Amino acid sequence: MDFLVLLGGGAVLGLAGVFVRLADTTAHLGPFASAFWRMTLAAPLLVAWAVFTRRGAPVAAPAASGSPQWFSRRPAPPAPLAGWSTAALAGFAAAMFALDLVFFHLAVVWTAVGNATLESNFAPVLITLAFWALTRRAPQPVFAAGLVAAVGGAALMIGPNLGHTRALLGDVCGLVSAVFYAAYQVGVQQARQRLATAPLMAAVTTLAALVLLPFAVAEGRMWPTAAIGWVWMAALALLVQIGGQVVIAYAVRRLSPVLSSVGLLVQPAMAVVYAWLLLGEALSPLQGVGAVLVLGGIYLARKGM
């Protein structure tokens, strides 16, 4: 059942790029503004959930053995943020998530939704490389195959955009968003050892909204010019942020790393499908091969953690 929940959450998350693009094209809502409203509309509901959870039975802290492991069948790597306070961890996760959204939403507006989503999912590759650099302990050999496949696939998908500056910048933003998403995952993984899902996601979402506010104001396109824009923002907040991010944060803790790795590939795969069906963004045959290579590479990279 938890695996089906994870698949559902991943499928819903795949809609994020579509909603951001529709808000931009149908209501002239800027990418930074859509990120801000996504957090702002979701925050009160998550805070209410956290308060309701607090009034119930106390939630035991997750056992160390049940925490996510970045390297399977190996000793857990050192926790680089272990000495930080819980508030600092939540603040770090929120800031990294906000910056991830800044670059991801720019990527969605400037390049293809499928490209942006696949590129942002390079986070597992970056996490493994970072821990490799910190610990000097090489990941499993299968990681190298995953890295080569993911990079080669990304090159095939980005290739057609080399002559188009705006689209190429969008692809760069998609890859940069993966850096911040990787940092966000590390922060949440360590904060999750001290906080339950509800208070953690409420804190991260609320703080991320505050970080995103100056970006949205400076952008100058903070308010939708058509009522349909609020529909896309409500969908981002309710379906993507609450129905996707929170559901996945809950389900991943209860599944093995292998099942989690497979389930989380649903998000970029479904994003490509949604972009084709809802936005008419069909991949060329070569880009299709690249997308398959990226998905396979991400899976192997997760397996090699």
- Let me know: does 266 contact 11? Beta carbons within 8 Å: yes
Q: What is the mean pLDDT of residues 132-161?
A: 75
Structure confidence by residue, pLDDT tens digits, 273-303? 888 889 988 877 887 888 888 888 777 776 6
71: amino acid identity, one letter = F
Structure confidence by residue, pLDDT tens digits, 209-241? 999 999 999 999 999 999 999 999 999 999 888
Predicted pLDDT at 67: 38
Higher pLDDT, 157 or 37: 37
Q: What is the mean pLDDT of residues 29-56?
A: 91
Q: What is the mean pLDDT of residues 23-43?
A: 95
Instruction: Give the C-alpha separation, 134 to 212, whole Å.
Output: 30
**84: confidence class by pLDDT, cuts 50, 70, 90:** confident
Instruction: Give the C-alpha separation, 98 to 75, whole Å.
Output: 31
In degrees and rounded to multiples of 5, residue 137 shows phi and psi of -110, 115
Taking CB atoms within 8 Å and a gap of at least 24, the contacts of 275-279 are 275/17, 275/18, 275/112, 275/113, 275/114, 276/114, 278/18, 278/22, 279/18, 279/21, 279/22, 279/113
Domain that holds residue 60: 2-303
Residues 6+ apart with CB under 8 A from 261: 124, 299, 302, 303
Tell me: pLDDT of 267 over 60: yes
- Let me know: does 123 contact 280? Beta carbons within 8 Å: no
Instruction: Give the C-alpha separation, 49 to 59, whole Å.
Output: 14
In degrees and rounded to multiples of 5, residue 260 shows phi and psi of -65, -40
Determine how many CB atoms are found less than 10 A away from the CB of residue 51: 12
Q: What is the mean pLDDT of residues 150-179?
A: 83
253: amino acid identity, one letter = R
Predicted pLDDT at 71: 34
Is 0.85 surpassed by the pTM of this model?
A: no
Domains identified in the chain, total number: 1
3-state secondary structure of 206: helix
**70: confidence class by pLDDT, cuts 50, 70, 90:** very low
DSSP class of residue 224? -
**257: confidence class by pLDDT, cuts 50, 70, 90:** low
Predicted pLDDT at 35: 96
Q: How far is CA 243 from the centre of its chain?
A: 13
**254: confidence class by pLDDT, cuts 50, 70, 90:** low
Higher pLDDT, 27 or 262: 27
Instruction: Give the C-alpha separation, 44 to 94, whole Å.
Output: 16
Got the DSSP string for 16-59?
Answer: HHHHHHHHHHHH---HHHHHHHHHHHHHHHHHHHHHHHHHSSPP
Predicted pLDDT at 233: 96
Q: What is the mean pLDDT of residues 34-49?
A: 95
